[in-house]
Amino acid sequence: MPKSPLRYLLAALLATALWAPPAAAMDSTPIDDPIPENPTASGLTLTLTEYATFPKTEPVPTPTDQRLMRWARINNIGEIPDGSRRQFVNDLNGKLYLLKNGQPQEYLDVGATFAPDFLSGRGLGSGFGYVAFHPDFARNGKFYTVHTEWGAALTTKTPDLTPQPETKFHGVITEWTATNPKADTFSGTHREVLRLGFNGQVHGIQQIDFNPYARRRDADYGLLYVASGDGGRGVSSDDPQNLAIPQGKVLRIDPLGTNAANGKYGIPAKNPFVTKAGAIGEIYAYGMRDPHRFSWDPQGNRLFLGHIGEHAIEAIYEVKAGDNLGWSEREGSFVFNKADRCHLYTLPDNDASFGYNYPVAAYDHDPPPGHSCTADSGHAVAGGFVYRGTRLPLLYGKYLFGDIVDGRVFFTIASQMRQGGPRATIYQPKLVNASGATVTMKDLAGDARVDLRLSRDGAGELYLLSKANGKIWKVTGACMTATP
């Protein structure tokens, strides 16, 4: 039965009693430039070939934030795991496309299905955020989407896990079952799996995905990972550290199971907190602000997460079951002080006792003089992928990622990205277009705000996307040239 506000209040009080944040260490030193080194210029040159262009779409309602006015808010390109080599692309404004002979063809309109509750015009991550096809899609026809809702949905629909105070939107995971998995237009049924309530219109559910390298007998097979942000409350609360609530966490659920409280999904027995008093069993890892994109390296099956920072740090983490990334006691490998959002601080001498997991690669914002410390920095990490394909041997073993806003593309060496070790060196490759001319992603996107995303197909080949002009480019070449 639906939970009453009183039940939520009692749950919150119980969580507070069972959990206390670590003591802040404020005898440390403020830092003006936490990561003084810049990405290293590399002689590696990547060729980007235009791959697809998508039709213009509009957010609903009409945005008040001009950053949402993009040509098409394409968010990912992937490949259906059924051997058909069909590729799919989702647009935050509501459409799910298949690519057919390089042309987008509408497969499903998620936004129209959930109108008028569907929301894509408030908050940078709002709308139809992601789609994940079940590894058995060829047989069961099941795939999963996440979208945001507002308005009447907030009063007529109840979140499944404790929502944040003054919830402003819901993040909703839906299971779809195609009548014919081979069809190029969806026909079938859908059901709600999980609904979460967030205080702000930012940092909701950013990604849902299955480990594509898990095999049928693996414990991870068919389990859905859910990157749930802090709803914007991490700077003023301890929500990301509170194991009694889902915000600021990576969750892991079995969408075909039934042992969750709502009976609509399962909680895997091997999740790290299933037996911890006061914790929800859905949590896989915690202590996060905006866990934006994650992916697995097929060599070693390691999970890497691109984590968008608050004050200064854009970071890549290697994430294991039970890890605590430290937010909002830490930002990257520095102390974050809620009373002083304009500085980060050095770690205390007893830092190891807190058990935080720190970035395996990171860069900082380096704002211009006079820039407000609470204003948009114009930087946000776009998490990426370790290249294990065969077409571009010079890329092999490199983790390619970038910056969402300015469109810079980076890479690190995956073997150097190890928990507990020094941060891996970040390199910046050259980019050229199909004609061999040097370009930037700003050039290709035709806009100073690129809204960059990275994606990967079933063969491990890499793609770059821009919302600014709704285009996708494939990385078709990698060679060494002189370092500038």
Mean pLDDT by 10 residues, the chain (484 residues): 43 44 59 95 98 98 95 98 97 97 96 98 96 98 98 97 97 98 98 97 97 96 98 97 98 98 98 98 98 97 97 97 98 95 94 98 93 89 98 98 98 97 98 98 98 98 98 98 72
Q: What value, to the nearest 5°, has the Cα angle with vertex 341 and ends 338 and 345?
A: 85
Distance CA 252, CA 255 (A): 9
- Looking at residue 392, what is its pLDDT? 98
* Contact predicate 189/180, CB 8 Å: no
Q: Which residues contact 125 (CB under 8 A, 6 or more apart)?
A: 92, 148, 202, 203, 204, 206, 229
Measure CA of the first residue to CA of the last residue in the chain; give whole Å.
64
8 Å CB contact between 169 and 157: no
Nearest partner of 388 among 407, 410, 415, judged by Cα: 415
| Spatial distance between the Cα atoms of 90 and 108, rounded to a whole number of angstroms | 10
Q: What pLDDT is attached to residue 186?
A: 98
Which structure tokens are listed for 455? 């994606």
Enter the tokens of residue 138. 């060829």
Q: Is the peptide bond before 415 cis (omega within 30 degrees of 0)?
A: no
Note the pLDDT of residue 69. 96
Number of H helices, E strands in the chain: 5, 28
Name the helix (H) or strand (E) containing 271.
none
Helical segments of 146-231, H only: 153-156
Asked whether 48 and 433 are in contact (CB, 8 A), the reply is yes
Phi-psi region of 240 (alpha: psi -120 to 50; beta: other; left: phi over 0): alpha
Q: Which residue has the tokens 């105070």?
A: 165
Place of tokens 């990622």: 401
Strand partners, 99: 87, 104
The secondary structure element, H or E, covering residue 319 is: strand 313-319
The alpha carbons of the chain give a radius of gyration, in whole angstroms, of 21
DSSP 264: S
pLDDT score of 369: 87
